Amino acid sequence: MTGTTAAPTTTLTALDRCDRCGAQASIRVTLPTGGELLFCGHHGRQHQDRLEQLAAVIHDTRKTTSV
């Protein structure tokens, strides 16, 4: 996902689940209205275009690398 990224308020854990299917969430989306959505990679990609149109802040933990 290429949307705006920012540091999340909390780290995603194994208990965080996709709002669409219940799989483990790897993407946290903060909407301009203050709401928050969690997505697995599949559903994050599926809704990426619309989320970017809404100017949502997207934090994708799949892009995190460790050194």
The rounded distance, in Å, linking the Cα atoms of 18 and 4 is 20
How far apart, in Å, are the Cα atoms of 36 and each of 20, 45, 51, 65, 66? 13, 16, 11, 24, 26
Structure tokens at 28: 């946290």
Q: pLDDT-derived band of residue 1, with 50, 70 and 90 as boundaries?
A: very low
Task: Delineate the domains of the chain, giving CATH numbers in brackets.
Answer: 1-67 (2.10.110)
Q: What is the pTM of this model?
A: 0.77
**Amino acid at position 55, single letter:** A
Over residues 2-47, the pLDDT tens digits come to 455 455 557 899 999 999 999 999 999 999 999 999 999 999 999 9
The pLDDT value given to residue 45: 94
The pLDDT value given to residue 10: 76
pLDDT at position 59 over 70: yes
Per-residue burial over 37-55, b if 16 or more Cβ lie within 10 Å, else e, is bbbbbebbeebbeebeeee
| CB-based contact 38:12 (threshold 8 Å) | yes
